[in-house]
A and B are shown apart, each in its own frame.
Chain A
Amino acid sequence: MKTSLQDRIVSVIFGVSAVLAVFTGFGNMPLYKRYYIADVPGLGWSGDFFTNLHVHYIAGSLLLAAAVYGGVRFWFERKEGTRLTRSGAVRAAVLILALVSGVFMALRNLPGIDYPFYAHAGLNFLHMSVAVVFMVLGIGCVAARCRWLQKQSQ
């Protein structure tokens, strides 16, 4: 896939929003005040649950936009022989699960939308677990410099 300035900007947005989404995701648990993270200068906001959630929404939205951008790009580039690497395919699947479950959680926050207990608790658990898997894979892939895509020789 030929990269341009636009692609590079999107990949920076993707990286930054992924880090922010994971950070605020952990911050949705009552951990940051307890473990002094919110005492770090500049991170005070992370100890406020609503602010933390709002930043999570923004990070999630940017991540979703970047993922759709990447997905659509990939869809068209497939014709020219671009394929997901194995690690790329796994990361994409996990990211899709995290994003979709996150969107369902945001919908649940709207008035008039309630899920049955098992769906509600299950969704929380799913979102949290895939986000942790995504984080671990992300760190591993950055360290090992894995690529998302490869060009198949035709």
Chain B
Amino acid sequence: MSSNISRRSFLRAGLITAGSVAASTVPFSKTARAASGGELCTLLDIRKCIGCEACVEACRWENADKFPEPEGEMPAMVPVDRVKVADWSSEEKRDVRYRLTPYNWLYIQYAQGEYNGKPYSLTIPRRCMHCQNAPCVNLCPFGAADKKSNGIVRIHSGLCMGGAKCKQVCPWHIPERQSGVGLHLDLVPQYAGNGVMYKCDRCYDRIAEGELPACIEACPENVQTIGPREEIVKRAFALAEEIDGFVYGDTQNGGTNTIYVSPVPFEELNRVIEKGPGQPHLADAGNAMEKTNNMIAALAIAPIAGLLGALARFKSLAQDKEDRR
């Protein structure tokens, strides 16, 4: 029943059904994509996740050709005490699966404890939340982080300078740096930039081809579903009500396109999960852009203030003339 709202939504939007095609690989047609228009959102029913990491493997396999391939030595950065080289390219480091890295855009977080007197053990797939008003996009000084009209937040590796500002301003510090690659090597490699930032791009290329993101397709438990945001949010709350559970991601950071539903409160999950570099929290994420956007008032008032000031000045000039006569 809960299997793939995505498929049903895409069907409703005009999907070409092919009975012979396995449900999990049903593509959604170009017309369906055009018809659905708005932002795509995912729902993660974490009760169902068994922590098998099939999604993690699928992500690594699917996106392998997007991964960084540094050549030769890492550039000697200036100043050396301030610019840390982040190199995940060795065989051993590429293999890391317990956190986010430039080669691991999705990982499984473990949460074990007791809630309401009952023990629980949950596994939670973690990756970029695809925020609706993403600070990583808004604050990237080079426009390398971009939000597509279908809600996907993507960092263009050809334009990213690796300064990691996106990571700093992201409430979950999601993007991960690989040094020794990217545009900055062609500019002033030692003095500005430091590699490229990587994160989940929601398999934008598969979506463009009418396919499901690799992690969604690979999951044997149908943990994730994808569809128009409005529908997914509705469904998340219905599910939460049904299981007497909790929702995370709908309002976090002003709203995201990744909604988790859990039988255990997220404050409790946040308490027990391992957090740290490459291991995002599950706490209330506030709203990173809120204060900035309140300041738009200053920009709106500015031209009026300038105009009024100038008019007042004319009035006094005219008065001067009058007095002189």
A: residues with CB less than 8 A from B are: 2, 4, 6-7, 10, 28-31, 33-36, 49-50, 53-54, 57-58, 60-62, 64-69, 71-73, 76, 103, 106-112, 114, 116-117, 120-125, 128
Contacts and interface: CB of A to CB of B under 8 A. Distances in A.
B146 A69 contact: no
A133 B316 CA distance: 36
Contacts of B309: 6, 10, 65, 69
Contacts, number: 138
12 contacts: A6-B312, A28-B141, A60-B299, A64-B299, A65-B305, A71-B306, A71-B310, A72-B306, A72-B307, A110-B293, A114-B147, A114-B148
A35 B97 CA distance: 34
Contact of A66 (B132, B142, B306): B306
A108 B138 contact: yes
A111 B293 contact: yes
B85 to A, nearest CB: 13
Interface residues of B, number: 50
Given A57-B295, A114-B147, A121 B159 contact: yes
A111 B299 contact: no
A61 B163 contact: no
B168 A49 contact: yes
Contacts of A35: 79, 82
Given A116-B149, A121-B156, 14 more contacts: A4-B313, A6-B309, A30-B141, A34-B79, A34-B83, A64-B303, A66-B306, A106-B296, A114-B147, A120-B146, A121-B143, A121-B146, A124-B141, A125-B143
